[in-house]
Structure 1
Amino acid sequence: MKKFILITGASGAIGQAIALNLAAKGYSLYLHYNLNQQAMDKLLKRLEPFNGEYIPIQADLAEPDSYQRVASQIFSLDGIVHNAGHALYGLLQELDEGDAARLIQVSITTPLLLTKALLPKLITKKAGSIVVISSIWGQTGAAYEVAYSTVKGAQIAFVKSLSKELAPSGIRVNGVAPGAVETPMISGFSPDELSAVEAEIPMGRLGTPEDIANGVEYLVSGQSSYITGHVLSINGGWHI
């Protein structure tokens, strides 16, 4: 029987790596995206050799009713990977209210309500895995990224609390906290700035989307069947 995983933000670099990794392990996928139709088309093409079912779902998760649009297109379900999100740089006193509202909606409110809407499908099976992609800044905080650090910290609290609530139903909830990863999110940094970051990381390099995807695959799989409420730090030793 096919197992279906929902991945939000599947058109991004980390989302694509997660999709390819899970497809290679035999999962069928619901692939959420917003504006990047071209990236989604390319991803679907790359997934063809794996012979699963790959269902794209378009929605702007900043819209309050977007979770209903996504949930209405999901039938059989075995897991959720909450990966959608975006960075927000700047001093707190310069924070735009609209930007803050969008960040909170995409990173906290929509995942919360989408999970609520989909939980009956997992509870009925008495099994399932939910993985939330948080950030190192949700663990340690970052100057000039206060709003982003705040929502990422809230995601970690979501993981820890929901894991306790769902454990009796056989559903595991875990998080992944990436450090600096080679994605378009860091494209605004200069080569010198990136070199300075690499110098701070004990392993001496940035992470790759595949590094994150490997962690997600482990937490989704039966290999982590006794792990819940855990946040897996994938950061090359930058934060322990």
Structure 2
Amino acid sequence: MDSFSLKGKVALVTGASYGIGFSIASALGQAGAKVVFNDINQELVDSGLAAYKEAGLEAYGYVADVTNEEAVAALIKQIEEEVGTVDILVNNAGIIKRIPMVEMTAAEWRQVIDIDLTGPFIMAKAVIPAMIEKGHGKIINICSLMSELGRETVSAYAAAKGGLKMLTKNIAAEYGEHNIQCNGIGPGYIETPQTAPLRVEGHPFNNFIIDKTPAARWGTPEDLKGPSVFLASEASDFVNGHILFVDGGILASIGKQP
């Protein structure tokens, strides 16, 4: 089982002060990695540091905007000086705007694309040269069911996550010969503070998700831990360009008969 160990590795998870990013970073830390994360402001970083400390994990937090190329370059340089070269990058930072397409402004569209797609491009571009030099590296992009499916009001998000799926495959194709593996995780509908209002018993959307999911439940952040450790570890060294959907079987099913 040593191939699953992340001991001695430096893992950078973007936007990991809370939620899915925090759960993934915690799992990598529990597997032995040094946990590094960033967020958009100091308040979020401070709350993240407190959460990791409460979980019994040492973590290094930094303020950086993943869409700012100069800020990202400075972030990676600081991490290399203070923690070490990044071995594992998890592109988790993202946003969603639920707005009907004809009501969405181009500025709102660009903001979603910039954070959810251009951000992972900038982050990956910043860490790949050192990974090539070291002869190994892992990049995990947090994709979505919307990398495969469309849904009302999420046109920009679906376009960004579909693009992230193809960026994942292209990084694998372009840098696989350097022993760099780039894969994606596609979470299904996960229990987070943001989805709490939708998960009230009797809420139409809650019923819709449970009926649509063969597992008959929402996913939890803990459901993403094992897949994350696998894709970050040597156990997945011959897995490249793959999107691992952690969705309780949604993509395998047409749904229950009425």
| TM-score between both structures, scaled by the size of structure 1 | 0.92
The answer to whether the 8 Å contact 2:26/2:35 transfers is: no
Return the match for 1:44 from 42, 52, 57. 52
For residue 64 of structure 1, report the CA deviation from its aligned partner: 5.5
The alignment status of 1:228 with 2:233, answered yes or no, reads no
**Matched letter for residue 207 of structure 1:** G
Mapped pair 1:212 → 2:224: yes
Partner of 1:71: 76
Shift of 1:74: 2.4
Deviation, 1:138, is 1.1
Give 1:19 deviation, angstroms: 1.4
- The structure with the largest alpha-carbon Rg is 2
The more displaced of 174-183 and 191-200 is: 191-200
| Total equivalences in the alignment | 237
Aligned to 2:206: 194
**2-side partners of 1:222 and 1:189: how far apart?**
38
For residues 1-240 of structure 1, the aligned pairs below 5 Å read: 2-35=8-41, 36-47=44-55, 49-50=56-57, 54-63=59-68, 65-75=70-80, 76-189=85-198, 191=200, 192=203, 193-240=205-252
Q: Please give the per-residue CA displacement for 1:127-157, whole angstroms capped at 9, x wherever unaligned.
A: 1110000100111122221111000000000
Q: Deviations over 1:52-85 (max 9, x none)?
A: 5x21111233446432342232211211000000
Residue pair 1:17, 1:209 contacting (<8 A) in 2 also = yes
Decide whether aligned partners of structure 1 residues 197 and 107 sit closer, same or farther in structure 2, where only a CA change above 3 A counts. same
Is the contact made by 1:79 and 1:122 (CA closer than 8 Å) also made in structure 2?
no
Deviation, 1:190, is 6.0
SS in structure 2 of the partner of residue 156 of structure 1? helix
What displacement does 1:16 show?
0.9
Over the aligned positions, Cα root-mean-square deviation in angstroms equals 1.8
CA contact (8 A) 1:138 1:153 kept: yes
**CA distance in 2: counterparts of 1:88 and 1:69, whole angstroms:** 29
* Larger deviation, residues 125-134 vs 182-191: 182-191
Distance 1:37 1:79 in 2: 20
Amino acid at match of 1:13: G
* AA partner of residue 222 (structure 2): E
Letter in 2 for 1:110: G
Separation of aligned partners in 2, 1:194 and 1:212: 20
Is the 8 Å Cα contact of residues 178 and 212 (structure 1) preserved in structure 2? yes
Which ranges in structure 2 are unaligned for 5 or more consecutive residues? 1-6, 253-258
Indicate if the aligned counterparts of 1:61 and 1:105 stay in contact, CA closer than 8 A.
no
* 8 Å contact kept, 2:173–2:241: yes
| Distance of 1:113 and 1:37 partners within structure 2 | 20
